Amino acid sequence: MPVAHLGRGCIVGGLRFRVLNTRANIVLAEYIQAIEDAAVRLDRLTKQVSEAMSSWSMGLVVEAYQAVRGAALITAVTFVVEIGDVRRFDSAAQLMAYLGLVPSESSAEIGCGVAASPTLVTPERDAC
């Protein structure tokens, strides 16, 4: 991400930042540099993971998972490393339960200090 320094401000990714305090401008420049360094490191690590795929026994599985919309290399590799072979699950419901994505029943307090009768608790439900 190119950075152009303009006296008391700078332009990052087409956005102009104007800082009146010189010290704040120095801090902003350091933050921008940290982001750029992290992006370079991410690219380097992604390339290394990509190169390692050819010799990995699960490489073809990772390639197959990348066919899922929104699942790029790192997402697919992470899924394979965490889950392994999905054939070890007898059903999709077992996989979802392993991942903690199925609703569960709770008869305890629901977080607001009020006892409740058994209700269906889903991850999307707010406590209060």
Chunk the chain into consecutive blocks of 10 residues (it has 128) and report each block's average pLDDT, rounded to whole numbers. 56 66 79 91 95 91 92 93 90 90 66 53 51
Q: Look at strands 104-106 and 119-121 and give their pairing.
A: antiparallel
Mean pLDDT of the chain: 78
48-76, pLDDT tens digit by residue?
Answer: 999 999 899 999 999 999 999 999 999 99
The domain limits of the chain are 1-54
